[in-house]
Structure 1
Amino acid sequence: MTDAAVADRVHVRAPGKINLFFEVGDVQDDGYHDVASAYQAVSLYEDMWATPADDFTIRVSGTVDVSGVPADDRNLALRAARMLAQRAGYEGGVHLEIVKHVPVAGGMGGGSADAAAALVACDLLWGTDLGMQELQRLAARLGADVPFALMGGTAIGTGRGDQLSQALAKGRFDWVLLTSEDEGLSTPEVYSHLDRMRADRAPDIAPPRRTPAVEPGVLQALRAGDAAALSVRVRNDLQPAALSLRPALREALELGERSGALAGLVSGSGPTLAFLAEGPEAALELQVTLAAAGYPALHVHGPVAGARAL
C-alpha cells in the first residue's frame, strides 16, 4: 500500500432506514438488549464526498439541523475512516464532506449511514479493495445499524441487531415520514426508559420470554409485496418509551392513522414517525394532510440499495 490515492474525489450515497418491526428482549447483564428487527432502507439519503488529505477532517451540512453533529473523532464517519486506514495500513488521511438529509437523532440511522458511506468512500479513494465481507466486519464494530446501511434493501437483524440476513421484499412500499423539529431522542435514554417501564410491570410492554424474533407474518407480507398485510404486523417495542418521553408524538401518530395511513409507528428510538401507505398516491395525500396540519412530512419508498458510489 502506498500513500498515493487512487481517485481525487469519491461521492457515496447511503440510505436512512426504518424498523418496520422491532422486538426488544430483556436487558442483559452487560446492559444491552437482544433484539429482532426488520430493517428497510428508504429513499432518504446521506451524501458524502471524500478527498485525499494529510489528516482526518470532516465538515457537516445538510437540509436538517446538524448543530448537534460532532465534527471531531466523536463522529462515527470519521471513526470509520480511521478504522479502515488502520486495517489497511494506509498512512494518509481523508477529508469527508457530509450533506445530511436524514434527521439527526431521529431513529433512522443517519449517523450509521454516514459511517457506512465513509467505509465505502475510503475503500475506493485509497484503493484498499477490502471487499464487502471485510467492510461488513468493520461496520459491525462501529454500531448495530452500520452493517445494514452497507447492505441496504430489506433485512432481518438479530443479536444486537447487527447479525443480518437479507429478506425478500417484492415490489415497493411507500412511507410518509413525520420528522421532528424538536430535539432528537437519545437511543440509550429510550432503552433505559423502556427498562424502567417494564420494571414497573406495565403488562402490555413486558419483554418476550424467549429469544426475540421477527414474526413470520412480517416476512410473508414482505415477500408478497402486500402493504395491507404488513400494516397489521408492524410493531416497535421501543414505541411506548419514546411516546412517554415525547408525549406530543402520540397526537401526530393518531392524526396520521386517522388520515389514511395503513399503520403508523415510531421509527427506531424515535422521534421520527413512519406511516405505511397503500401506494404512492395515498402517500402523497397523507403527506399533504400532515403538512397542512403543520407537521414536516416526507414521502419516501423502500427498499433501496445500501451505501454505493455515484
Structure 2
Amino acid sequence: MPTVTAVRSFAKINLGLRIGPPRADGFHHLHTLYQTIGLFDELTVEAERARMTEIHLQCSDPRVPVDGRNTVYRIVEAALQAMDVTAHVKIFLRKHLPMQGGLGAGSANAAAALLGLERQLGIALPGAQRFALAERIGSDVPLFLVGGTVYGHNRGELVMPYPDIPETPCVVVAPGVGSSTPLAFRAWDERVSSLTPQAAQGRLDELSRVYASAFAPTGPASEIGASGASGALDAGDSVPHESGSLAGNPLPALVRTGMENDFQEVVFSQHPFLRDILHALQGDEVLPREERAFTASLSGSGSSLFGLYGSTAAAEAAQARAQALGVRSFVTTTLSRKAYWGGLFV
C-alpha cells in the first residue's frame, strides 16, 4: 500500500439549477446539471489497520472544523464501519476553494477522502455502497464519484453521467462572502409561496426537457445512486460524443434554452454587489461577441459566480474585469470525466 495517498478534490459549478416544492423531510426536489472544473483542494491520506479506530484531521484553514462536523471526518468514520475495519487515519486538508462558495468544496473533500482511504487500505467498496455512503454525507457528494458533466435530481444526490461538454475556459469569482444554503432555500420558499406544488413540479419537468433536448441524440447514461443503477459507470469512463463538433457540444443549445439558477435572484437580493460581478463576467454588450461569456451565473447557492468563454484570452479579460472590482477570481477550465479521474490522484 502507498505510504501516503495525495488526492485533489475538484470543484463544480452548476449549469442551471431549478428548485421544486419542499418535501416532508425538509429537503427540496431539485434538478441541476453539475460540471466539474479544474480548481481544487488537496488532501493527503494515511491509514493503517489498528486495534482501535482513530481519525486525525488537520486543515490549513483554521476556520474549518476538524471533528465530526467536517464531511471528511464523517465519511471516513462511516466508510471504516462499512468496511468493518478499524484503523488509524491521518488526513491533511489544504484549502484553496472558498467556504460556503457554491463550488461543492466540502462535498468534494469528502469524496476525495473516501477514495484516498480505499486506496490506502486496499479496499474498494461496491458501487452501490459507495454511493449510499456519499448520499448520507451530503447531496453533492455523489457527483464527485462520477465527475465531468453530471445531471442531478431528487435532492441532487441521484446522479446521471451526461456526455461531457468540450473543455471550456472558465472564470470563477470568489466574492469573499458566505452564502448559507438553508437560508437561501428559506428565502426561495418565501419568494414562491404562491406557487402551487403542481406548478413547481412543472418547472422541474421543463428543465429536464431542456437538458434532454440539449444533449440529444447521445442522451445520458444510466442513473447512479444508492437507489439507481450503481454499476452503470466505472471511474473515468466517458459517455461518447462528437468531440469538437457543434453536434457534440451541448453548450449552445443550453445557452439558447436557458441555464438559469433559481438561487440567483434570492442571493443577489441579499448581496446586491454580486450583480456587478455578474456583469463583469458577462462582458459589456459593446464588446465583440467572441469576447463575452457564453453564459455567466451564480454557482449553487453562491456566493461564487462563474463565466464560460470561447477562448482563454476572453477568460483572462473577464478575470481582469472582475479583479478590478476587488474580488478574487481564477481562470480554469471545465473538466471532462476522463480528465477528472486522470487528475484525481497525484
Distance 1:218 1:161, change over 3 A: same
Taking a change above 3 Å as real, the CA distance of residues 229 and 210 of structure 1, as seen in their structure-2 partners, is closer
Q: Quote the Cα distance in structure 2 between the aligned partners of 1:280 and 1:217.
A: 28
Structure 1 residue runs of 5 or longer lacking an equivalent are 1-5
Q: Which amino acid aligns with 2:302?
A: G
Residue 195 of structure 1 pairs with residue 219 of structure 2: no
Q: Could you give the per-residue CA deviations for residues 204-252 of structure 1, whole angstroms, max 9, x where no partner exists?
A: xx83436546344445556632544433321101111111221221121
Q: Describe the shift of the 1:231–1:279 C-alpha distance in structure 2 as closer, same or farther (beyond 3 A).
A: farther
2:325 & 2:208 partners in 1: Cα distance?
34
> How do 1:145-160 and structure 2 match up within 5 A?
145-160=140-155
Displacement of 1:91 in angstroms is: 1.0
Equivalent position of 2:110 in the other structure:
115
TM-score, structure 2 length as denominator?
Answer: 0.79
The alpha carbon displacement at 1:131 in A equals 4.0
CA–CA distance in structure 2, aligned partners of residues 219 and 279 of structure 1: 27
1:246-265 paired onto structure 2 within 5 Å: 246-259=271-284, 260-265=292-297
SS class of match (2:192): helix
The separation in 1 between residues aligned to 2:265 and 2:21, in whole angstroms, is 15
**1:39 Cα offset (Å):** 0.4
1:236 aligns with 2:261: yes
Change (3 A) 1:221 1:285: farther
Q: CA deviation at 1:122?
A: 0.7
Q: 1:174 maps to which residue?
A: 169
Q: Supply the distance in 2 between the matched residues of 1:56 and 1:213 (Cα, whole angstroms).
A: 45
Residue number in structure 2 paired with 1:25: 20
Shift of 1:167: 0.4
Which of the numbers 326, 330, 338 marks the counterpart of 1:294? 326
Partner residue, 1:309: 345
More strand by percentage? 1
Q: What amino acid sits opposite 1:55 in the alignment?
A: E
Q: For 1:207 and 1:250, how far apart are their aligned partners in 2? A: 26
Pair 1:225-2:224 in alignment = no
Q: Residue 209 of structure 1 is aligned with which of 177, 202, 211?
A: 202
TM-score, with length taken from structure 1:
0.88
Quick one: distance in 2 between partners of 1:308 and 1:140? 20
User: Is 2:11–2:36's contact at 8 Å kept on the other side of the alignment?
Assistant: yes
Distance of 2:195 and 2:201 partners within structure 1? 13
Q: Deviations over 1:257-291 (max 9, x none)?
A: 23422322110000001112122221112112222
**Equivalent residues of 1:24, 1:212 under 8 A apart:** no
Question: Closer, same or farther in 2 for the Cα pair 1:283/1:236, shift >3 Å?
Answer: same
Number of residue-to-residue matches in the alignment: 297
Q: What secondary structure, in the 3-state scheme, does the structure 1 residue paired with 2:302 have?
A: coil
* Aligned twin of 1:3: none
2:206, 2:98 → 1: CA distance?
28
Identity %: 28
CA gap of 1:13–1:213, structure 2 versus 1, over 3 A, is farther
How far off its partner does 1:75 sit? 0.4
Which position in structure 1 is the counterpart of 2:56? 57
CA contact (8 A) 2:18 2:204 kept: no
Distance 2:38 2:200 in 1: 32
The whole-number CA distance in structure 2 between the counterparts of 1:70 and 1:212 is 38
Moved more, 214-223 or 234-243: 214-223
Asked if structure 2 preserves the Cα contact closer than 8 Å seen for 1:35 and 1:213, the reply is no
Which amino acid in the other structure matches residue 230 of structure 1? L
Structure 2: state its 5+ residue gaps: 216-240, 242-247, 285-291
Distance in 2 (CA, whole Å) between partners of 1:99 and 1:220 is: 40
CA distance in 2, matches of 1:280, 1:229: 21
Amino acid at match of 1:56: I
SS of equivalent residue, structure 1 residue 236: coil
RMSD, aligned CA: 2.2
- In 2, the alpha carbon distance for the partners of 1:150 and 1:93 equals 24
Q: Does structure 1 residue 266 correspond to structure 2 residue 266?
A: no
